[in-house]
Protein backbone atom coordinates (compact mmCIF):
# COMPACT_ATOMS: atom_id res chain seq x y z
CA UNK A 1 0.00 0.00 0.00
CA UNK A 2 1.49 3.39 -0.91
CA UNK A 3 2.16 5.84 1.84
CA UNK A 4 -1.14 7.26 3.04
CA UNK A 5 -2.11 10.79 2.11
CA UNK A 6 -4.09 11.95 5.15
CA UNK A 7 -6.58 14.71 4.52
CA UNK A 8 -6.69 15.27 8.25
CA UNK A 9 -2.92 15.70 8.71
CA UNK A 10 -3.38 19.34 9.63
CA UNK A 11 -5.43 18.32 12.68
CA UNK A 12 -2.63 16.20 14.17
CA UNK A 13 -1.62 18.90 16.61
CA UNK A 14 -2.02 19.43 20.32
CA UNK A 15 -3.60 22.47 21.99
CA UNK A 16 -0.32 24.38 21.64
CA UNK A 17 -0.18 23.78 17.88
CA UNK A 18 2.65 21.24 18.12
CA UNK A 19 2.58 17.91 16.27
CA UNK A 20 1.02 15.13 18.34
CA UNK A 21 3.58 12.69 19.72
CA UNK A 22 3.28 8.99 18.86
CA UNK A 23 4.78 5.96 20.58
CA UNK A 24 5.02 2.64 18.72
CA UNK A 25 5.46 -0.66 20.56
CA UNK A 26 5.77 -3.69 18.29
CA UNK A 27 8.09 -6.68 18.24
CA UNK A 28 8.13 -7.04 14.45
CA UNK A 29 10.67 -4.57 12.94
CA UNK A 30 8.97 -4.37 9.53
CA UNK A 31 5.67 -3.53 11.20
CA UNK A 32 7.28 -0.80 13.31
CA UNK A 33 8.69 0.74 10.12
CA UNK A 34 5.34 0.60 8.33
CA UNK A 35 3.45 2.18 11.23
CA UNK A 36 6.11 4.88 11.55
CA UNK A 37 5.82 5.78 7.85
CA UNK A 38 2.04 6.05 8.00
CA UNK A 39 2.12 8.01 11.25
CA UNK A 40 4.59 10.52 9.87
CA UNK A 41 2.39 10.89 6.78
CA UNK A 42 -0.43 11.78 9.16
CA UNK A 43 1.60 14.63 10.60
CA UNK A 44 2.49 12.87 13.85
CA UNK A 45 5.84 13.18 15.57
CA UNK A 46 7.18 9.68 16.28
CA UNK A 47 8.77 9.88 19.73
CA UNK A 48 9.27 6.18 20.56
CA UNK A 49 9.70 3.13 18.32
CA UNK A 50 10.59 -0.03 20.21
CA UNK A 51 9.45 -3.49 21.25
CA UNK A 52 6.64 -4.43 23.63
CA UNK A 53 8.98 -5.43 26.46
CA UNK A 54 10.09 -1.78 26.80
CA UNK A 55 6.76 -1.06 28.48
CA UNK A 56 7.80 -3.02 31.57
CA UNK A 57 11.60 -2.88 31.41
CA UNK A 58 13.78 -0.01 32.56
CA UNK A 59 12.53 3.47 33.33
CA UNK A 60 9.09 4.49 32.11
CA UNK A 61 9.18 6.64 29.00
CA UNK A 62 6.66 9.38 28.22
CA UNK A 63 3.74 7.84 26.39
CA UNK A 64 2.95 10.68 24.05
CA UNK A 65 -0.49 11.60 22.76
CA UNK A 66 -1.12 8.44 20.70
CA UNK A 67 0.20 4.93 21.38
CA UNK A 68 0.11 2.14 18.79
CA UNK A 69 0.75 -1.36 20.12
CA UNK A 70 1.00 -4.67 18.28
CA UNK A 71 0.36 -7.68 20.53
CA UNK A 72 -0.12 -10.82 18.40
CA UNK A 73 0.66 -13.18 21.30
CA UNK A 74 -1.06 -12.53 24.64
CA UNK A 75 1.53 -14.23 26.86
CA UNK A 76 2.35 -13.29 30.44
CA UNK A 77 4.86 -10.60 29.44
CA UNK A 78 2.51 -9.02 26.94
CA UNK A 79 -0.40 -8.99 29.37
CA UNK A 80 1.75 -7.39 32.07
CA UNK A 81 2.91 -4.74 29.57
CA UNK A 82 -0.65 -4.00 28.42
CA UNK A 83 -1.95 -3.79 32.00
CA UNK A 84 0.70 -1.22 32.88
CA UNK A 85 0.09 0.69 29.65
CA UNK A 86 -3.67 0.69 30.26
CA UNK A 87 -3.31 2.38 33.65
CA UNK A 88 -0.72 4.89 32.43
CA UNK A 89 -2.75 5.84 29.36
CA UNK A 90 -5.90 6.29 31.44
CA UNK A 91 -4.06 8.63 33.80
CA UNK A 92 -2.29 10.54 31.02
CA UNK A 93 -5.22 10.74 28.60
CA UNK A 94 -3.28 9.07 25.79
CA UNK A 95 -5.21 7.49 22.92
CA UNK A 96 -4.43 3.79 22.34
CA UNK A 97 -4.67 1.59 19.26
CA UNK A 98 -3.93 -2.05 20.11
CA UNK A 99 -3.81 -4.81 17.50
CA UNK A 100 -3.99 -8.47 18.40
CA UNK A 101 -5.18 -11.82 17.04
CA UNK A 102 -8.41 -13.75 17.50
CA UNK A 103 -6.62 -16.05 19.95
CA UNK A 104 -5.42 -13.11 22.03
CA UNK A 105 -8.58 -11.01 21.88
CA UNK A 106 -10.22 -12.11 25.12
CA UNK A 107 -7.07 -11.57 27.18
CA UNK A 108 -6.30 -8.19 25.60
CA UNK A 109 -9.89 -6.97 25.95
CA UNK A 110 -10.06 -8.09 29.58
CA UNK A 111 -6.87 -6.43 30.74
CA UNK A 112 -7.46 -3.09 28.99
CA UNK A 113 -10.47 -1.81 30.91
CA UNK A 114 -9.36 1.70 31.90
CA UNK A 115 -8.15 3.55 28.81
CA UNK A 116 -10.92 2.78 26.28
CA UNK A 117 -8.49 1.63 23.56
CA UNK A 118 -9.35 1.01 19.94
CA UNK A 119 -8.71 -2.73 19.49
CA UNK A 120 -8.00 -4.21 16.07
CA UNK A 121 -8.04 -7.93 15.28
CA UNK A 122 -5.60 -9.23 12.63
CA UNK A 123 -5.59 -5.83 10.89
CA UNK A 124 -4.02 -5.12 7.53
CA UNK A 125 -2.22 -1.87 6.82
CA UNK A 126 -5.36 -0.16 5.58
CA UNK A 127 -7.22 -0.94 8.80
CA UNK A 128 -4.39 0.48 10.87
CA UNK A 129 -4.49 3.66 8.80
CA UNK A 130 -8.24 3.97 9.37
CA UNK A 131 -7.75 3.38 13.12
CA UNK A 132 -5.10 6.07 13.27
CA UNK A 133 -7.54 8.45 11.60
CA UNK A 134 -10.19 7.58 14.18
CA UNK A 135 -8.01 8.45 17.14
CA UNK A 136 -6.74 11.61 15.47
CA UNK A 137 -10.36 12.69 15.03
CA UNK A 138 -10.61 12.78 18.82
CA UNK A 139 -8.21 15.74 18.93
CA UNK A 140 -8.69 18.43 20.00
CA UNK A 141 -11.26 18.31 22.79
CA UNK A 142 -12.52 14.84 21.86
CA UNK A 143 -14.86 16.19 19.18
CA UNK A 144 -16.61 12.87 18.65
CA UNK A 145 -17.89 12.90 22.22
CA UNK A 146 -19.84 16.07 21.47
CA UNK A 147 -21.80 14.48 18.64
CA UNK A 148 -25.34 13.24 18.93
CA UNK A 149 -26.15 9.53 19.10
CA UNK A 150 -27.30 9.53 15.47
CA UNK A 151 -24.11 11.30 14.37
CA UNK A 152 -21.92 8.76 16.17
CA UNK A 153 -23.75 5.85 14.56
CA UNK A 154 -23.40 7.50 11.14
CA UNK A 155 -19.66 7.94 11.68
CA UNK A 156 -19.39 4.32 12.81
CA UNK A 157 -21.05 3.10 9.62
CA UNK A 158 -18.93 5.40 7.46
CA UNK A 159 -15.80 4.12 9.19
CA UNK A 160 -16.79 0.55 8.33
CA UNK A 161 -17.39 1.46 4.70
CA UNK A 162 -14.14 3.40 4.36
CA UNK A 163 -12.25 0.52 5.96
CA UNK A 164 -13.78 -1.97 3.54
CA UNK A 165 -12.94 0.21 0.54
CA UNK A 166 -9.38 0.79 1.74
CA UNK A 167 -8.88 -2.93 2.30
CA UNK A 168 -10.13 -3.76 -1.20
CA UNK A 169 -7.83 -1.14 -2.73
CA UNK A 170 -4.86 -2.57 -0.85
CA UNK A 171 -5.63 -6.12 -1.98
CA UNK A 172 -6.04 -4.96 -5.59
CA UNK A 173 -2.73 -3.10 -5.42
CA UNK A 174 -0.89 -6.12 -4.01
CA UNK A 175 -2.68 -8.66 -6.18
CA UNK A 176 -3.42 -10.74 -3.11
CA UNK A 177 -6.54 -12.17 -1.61
CA UNK A 178 -8.26 -11.22 1.60
CA UNK A 179 -6.40 -12.44 4.68
CA UNK A 180 -9.00 -11.89 7.32
CA UNK A 181 -12.04 -13.24 5.48
CA UNK A 182 -15.41 -13.51 7.15
CA UNK A 183 -15.90 -13.34 10.88
CA UNK A 184 -17.02 -17.00 10.89
CA UNK A 185 -13.66 -18.08 9.49
CA UNK A 186 -12.12 -18.03 12.99
CA UNK A 187 -9.94 -21.06 13.50
CA UNK A 188 -11.79 -23.64 15.55
CA UNK A 189 -14.89 -21.50 15.87
CA UNK A 190 -18.20 -23.19 16.48
CA UNK A 191 -20.86 -22.67 13.79
CA UNK A 192 -23.24 -21.74 16.58
CA UNK A 193 -22.88 -18.18 17.91
CA UNK A 194 -23.37 -19.05 21.53
CA UNK A 195 -19.80 -19.59 22.78
CA UNK A 196 -21.26 -19.57 26.29
CA UNK A 197 -19.81 -20.61 29.59
CA UNK A 198 -22.55 -22.74 31.04
CA UNK A 199 -23.68 -22.37 34.60
CA UNK A 200 -22.40 -18.81 34.99
CA UNK A 201 -25.12 -16.42 36.09
CA UNK A 202 -25.34 -13.16 34.18
CA UNK A 203 -28.58 -11.95 35.69
CA UNK A 204 -27.57 -12.02 39.33
CA UNK A 205 -27.34 -9.31 41.98
CA UNK A 206 -24.86 -7.23 39.99
CA UNK A 207 -27.29 -6.98 37.09
CA UNK A 208 -30.11 -6.04 39.43
CA UNK A 209 -28.25 -3.00 40.79
CA UNK A 210 -29.88 0.20 39.71
CA UNK A 211 -33.17 -1.47 38.84
CA UNK A 212 -36.22 0.08 40.45
CA UNK A 213 -38.46 -2.48 42.08
CA UNK A 214 -41.48 -1.31 40.09
CA UNK A 215 -39.63 -1.63 36.78
CA UNK A 216 -38.45 -5.15 37.54
CA UNK A 217 -41.93 -6.21 38.61
CA UNK A 218 -43.48 -4.79 35.44
CA UNK A 219 -40.93 -6.27 33.05
CA UNK A 220 -42.25 -9.13 30.88
CA UNK A 221 -40.21 -12.32 31.10
CA UNK A 222 -37.40 -12.77 28.62
CA UNK A 223 -38.28 -14.99 25.64
CA UNK A 224 -37.50 -18.69 25.63
CA UNK A 225 -33.80 -18.88 24.71
CA UNK A 226 -34.54 -21.78 22.35
CA UNK A 227 -36.73 -19.43 20.33
CA UNK A 228 -34.00 -16.80 20.19
CA UNK A 229 -31.40 -19.37 19.15
CA UNK A 230 -33.72 -20.56 16.39
CA UNK A 231 -34.08 -16.99 15.15
CA UNK A 232 -30.30 -16.60 15.15
CA UNK A 233 -29.86 -19.79 13.12
CA UNK A 234 -32.51 -18.65 10.64
CA UNK A 235 -30.75 -15.33 10.21
CA UNK A 236 -27.44 -17.10 9.58
CA UNK A 237 -29.07 -19.42 7.06
CA UNK A 238 -29.59 -16.53 4.65
CA UNK A 239 -25.84 -16.34 4.00
CA UNK A 240 -25.95 -19.82 2.41
CA UNK A 241 -28.08 -18.51 -0.43
CA UNK A 242 -27.34 -14.78 -0.67
CA UNK A 243 -24.41 -12.49 0.04
CA UNK A 244 -24.22 -12.21 3.82
CA UNK A 245 -23.16 -8.55 3.54
CA UNK A 246 -26.70 -7.74 2.43
CA UNK A 247 -28.00 -8.61 5.90
CA UNK A 248 -25.16 -7.41 8.13
CA UNK A 249 -26.75 -5.95 11.24
CA UNK A 250 -24.25 -6.50 14.05
CA UNK A 251 -26.12 -4.56 16.73
CA UNK A 252 -29.26 -6.65 16.37
CA UNK A 253 -27.41 -9.97 16.08
CA UNK A 254 -25.46 -9.21 19.25
CA UNK A 255 -28.63 -8.15 21.07
CA UNK A 256 -30.25 -11.48 20.16
CA UNK A 257 -27.22 -13.48 21.29
CA UNK A 258 -27.02 -11.67 24.63
CA UNK A 259 -30.77 -11.96 25.16
CA UNK A 260 -30.56 -15.75 24.82
CA UNK A 261 -27.50 -15.84 27.09
CA UNK A 262 -29.24 -13.82 29.81
CA UNK A 263 -32.27 -16.12 29.70
CA UNK A 264 -29.89 -19.09 29.94
CA UNK A 265 -27.99 -17.52 32.87
CA UNK A 266 -24.81 -17.83 30.82
CA UNK A 267 -21.94 -15.45 30.17
CA UNK A 268 -20.62 -14.43 26.77
CA UNK A 269 -16.99 -13.68 26.01
CA UNK A 270 -16.05 -10.83 23.71
CA UNK A 271 -14.73 -13.31 21.11
CA UNK A 272 -18.01 -15.21 21.15
CA UNK A 273 -19.97 -11.99 20.73
CA UNK A 274 -17.78 -10.98 17.78
CA UNK A 275 -18.62 -14.29 16.12
CA UNK A 276 -22.31 -13.83 16.85
CA UNK A 277 -22.26 -10.39 15.22
CA UNK A 278 -21.64 -11.85 11.77
CA UNK A 279 -19.11 -9.15 10.86
CA UNK A 280 -15.29 -9.04 11.05
CA UNK A 281 -14.07 -8.86 14.67
CA UNK A 282 -12.59 -5.35 14.44
CA UNK A 283 -15.95 -4.06 13.19
CA UNK A 284 -17.75 -5.98 15.93
CA UNK A 285 -15.51 -4.42 18.59
CA UNK A 286 -16.43 -0.95 17.37
CA UNK A 287 -20.12 -1.82 17.71
CA UNK A 288 -19.58 -3.31 21.16
CA UNK A 289 -17.93 -0.07 22.25
CA UNK A 290 -20.82 1.96 20.87
CA UNK A 291 -23.39 -0.26 22.58
CA UNK A 292 -21.56 0.01 25.91
CA UNK A 293 -21.45 3.79 25.54
CA UNK A 294 -25.18 3.83 24.73
CA UNK A 295 -25.91 1.92 27.93
CA UNK A 296 -27.18 -1.21 26.15
CA UNK A 297 -24.24 -3.52 26.93
CA UNK A 298 -22.29 -3.97 30.16
CA UNK A 299 -18.72 -5.09 30.51
CA UNK A 300 -18.30 -7.68 33.30
CA UNK A 301 -14.93 -8.66 34.72
CA UNK A 302 -14.07 -12.12 36.00
CA UNK A 303 -13.24 -12.00 39.70
CA UNK A 304 -11.17 -15.19 39.45
CA UNK A 305 -9.23 -14.46 36.25
CA UNK A 306 -8.34 -10.94 35.16
CA UNK A 307 -7.54 -12.24 31.68
CA UNK A 308 -11.24 -12.79 31.01
CA UNK A 309 -14.08 -10.33 30.59
CA UNK A 310 -17.65 -10.81 29.48
CA UNK A 311 -20.32 -8.73 27.78
CA UNK A 312 -23.93 -8.74 28.99
CA UNK A 313 -27.14 -6.85 28.35
CA UNK A 314 -27.76 -3.89 30.58
CA UNK A 315 -31.01 -3.91 32.53
CA UNK A 316 -32.31 -1.23 30.13
CA UNK A 317 -31.59 -3.42 27.11
CA UNK A 318 -32.99 -6.55 28.76
CA UNK A 319 -36.20 -4.71 29.54
CA UNK A 320 -36.45 -3.44 25.95
CA UNK A 321 -35.85 -6.90 24.46
CA UNK A 322 -38.38 -8.53 26.80
CA UNK A 323 -41.00 -5.95 25.88
CA UNK A 324 -40.21 -6.30 22.19
CA UNK A 325 -40.72 -10.07 22.19
CA UNK A 326 -43.85 -9.74 24.30
CA UNK A 327 -45.23 -7.20 21.82
CA UNK A 328 -44.63 -9.16 18.62
CA UNK A 329 -45.52 -12.58 20.09
CA UNK A 330 -43.73 -15.89 19.70
CA UNK A 331 -45.16 -16.57 16.26
CA UNK A 332 -44.03 -13.31 14.72
CA UNK A 333 -40.64 -13.60 16.43
CA UNK A 334 -39.65 -16.34 14.01
CA UNK A 335 -39.82 -13.79 11.18
CA UNK A 336 -37.29 -11.29 12.56
Domain 9-174 top-level CATH class: alpha beta
Q: What is the pTM of this model?
A: 0.71
Q: Domain-by-domain residue ranges, the chain? A: 9-174, 193-333
Contact indicator for 267, 200 with CB cutoff of 8 Å: yes
Q: Burial code of 60-79, b = ≥16 C-beta within 10 A, e = fewer?
A: eeebbbbbbbbbbebeeebb
Using alpha carbons only, give the angle 268, 269, 273 rounded to the nearest 5 degrees: 75
pLDDT tens profile 269-312? 999 999 999 889 999 999 999 999 999 999 998 888 878 899 99
Q: How far apart are CA 230 and CA 15, in angstroms?
A: 53
Q: How many CB atoms are located within 10 Å of the residue 252 CB?
A: 14
Contact indicator for 223, 333 with CB cutoff of 8 Å: yes
Q: Phi/psi of residue 191, each to 5°?
A: -65, -20
Domain 193-333 top-level CATH class: mainly alpha
pLDDT tens-digit profile, the chain (336 residues): 444 444 343 445 555 556 788 999 999 999 999 999 988 887 788 999 999 999 998 777 888 899 999 999 999 999 999 999 999 999 998 999 999 999 999 999 999 999 999 999 999 998 898 888 888 877 754 444 444 556 555 555 655 655 555 555 455 555 544 434 433 333 333 333 333 333 333 444 334 444 444 444 566 888 888 999 998 888 888 888 887 777 778 999 999 999 999 999 999 999 999 999 988 999 999 999 999 999 999 999 888 887 889 999 999 999 999 999 988 875 555 555
- Residue 216 per-residue DSSP state: H
Contact indicator for 128, 99 with CB cutoff of 8 Å: yes
pLDDT tens profile 97-135? 999 999 999 999 999 999 999 999 999 998 898 888 888
Query: Which residues lie below 8 Å from residue 156, measured CB to CB, with a gap of 6+?
Result: 286, 287, 290
For the chain, how far is it from start to end, CA to CA, in angstroms? 41
Amino acid sequence: MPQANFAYAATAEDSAGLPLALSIYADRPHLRATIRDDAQAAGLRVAVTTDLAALIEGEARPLGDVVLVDCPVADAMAIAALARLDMRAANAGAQLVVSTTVDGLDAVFAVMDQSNPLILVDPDRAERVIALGEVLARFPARRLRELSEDDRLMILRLTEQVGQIAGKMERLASGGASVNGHAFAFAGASPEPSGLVSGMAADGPACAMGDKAGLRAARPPLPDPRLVRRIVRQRQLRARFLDGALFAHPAWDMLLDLTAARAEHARVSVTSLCIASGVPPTTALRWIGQMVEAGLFRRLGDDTDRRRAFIALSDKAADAMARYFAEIGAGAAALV
